[in-house]
């Protein structure tokens, strides 16, 4: 069941396993993908929020996927489809 109001869980901010930039990336993805099943993100959008390259974004997304925050798939270089859990 999806939430009907925009509120980023405090659980992610208290999670010590995630670096700060990964938390910022997740919060951007969450606000863009609020109340949607799939979200389309590219590296250029994320670079407006956090100074990061595609390799760093891929590592952050992989870490978020391992911790069960989201599921991602890279369909082109720098282009991602993301499903929020």
Stated as kind and residue range, the H or E segment containing 41 is strand 38-42
pLDDT greater at residue 35 or residue 80: 80
pLDDT tens digits, one per residue of 16-70: 999 989 988 988 888 888 778 788 899 998 998 889 999 999 999 999 999 998 9
Q: Tell me, what's the pLDDT at 3?
A: 47
Distance, in Å, from the CA atom of 3 to the CA atom of 36, rounded to the nearest integer, reads 11
Residue 40 makes CB contacts below 8 A (sequence gap 6+) with: 79, 80, 81, 82
pLDDT classification of 7: cutoffs 50, 70, 90: low
Count, residues in the chain: 85
Distance, in Å, from the CA atom of 60 to the CA atom of 18, rounded to the nearest integer, reads 8
Q: Tell me, what's the pLDDT at 6?
A: 56
Domains and CATH numbers, the chain: 17-84 (1.10.10.10)
């Amino acid at each position: 069941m999806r939430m009907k109001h925009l509120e980023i869980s405090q659980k992610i901010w208290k999670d010590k396993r995630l670096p700060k930039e990964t938390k910022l990336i997740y919060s951007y993805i969450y606000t863009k993908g609020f109340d949607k099943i799939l979200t389309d993100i590219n590296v250029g959008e994320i670079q407006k929020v956090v100074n990061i390259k595609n390799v760093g974004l891929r590592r952050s997304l992989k870490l978020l996927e391992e911790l069960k925050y989201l599921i991602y798939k890279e369909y082109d270089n720098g282009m991602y489809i993301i499903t929020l859990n």
